[in-house]
Structure 1
């Protein structure tokens, strides 16, 4: 199961996504589908992903600016992507999901936060234990 969470910070907020090879392939497939047919898609609809109760992400087609944004405290994060960018990120996930890759990470978005580019998205495989980002109930 792909686990994801928004980790707020005054200086370095980040969206962290953790999963195994199959999770990353499925996320890559979802990004390719978005690239082929751009439209709003909520991570809540992905049967391969789970988050803490406070993190909601919606992928939307980029009109001008791209990147992950938090429009308001109570609203979902918006991941604004162009079709080309979605395909590029899917290709990065393919590399991370390759059978010969046991662990690693990719940044899907800016390496540093600024007003123009948004919140960084880090996807990781094999770098965190399976219970990390899982909320106990």
Structure 2
């Protein structure tokens, strides 16, 4: 199957370096999709600022669009799609499974944001 692996942050990125988790998934026979959605670092301030006020919509849409594009080319059509991520990547993974249950079979997440109201009062991440 396909495992989509959005990065944490949200202002982080999936760079061109070795990642153990995705590599182990690939060794197990899964296709792995690493997504840099709008709001990721490395694309300039306009891209970073584009996510403000759109968290949970724009970023989810970007990851979903990437998965849909890969689905059109998949040699294993019909096999399951999973989501996996930590922090903001976990937040996105839960959104994907919750919003698109017919497409995503399951998610594996670590320390996702699941309660935005509590997060706003307890985070050390600057909120504009």
Indicate the structure with greater strand content.
1
Q: TM-score, normalised by structure 2?
A: 0.32
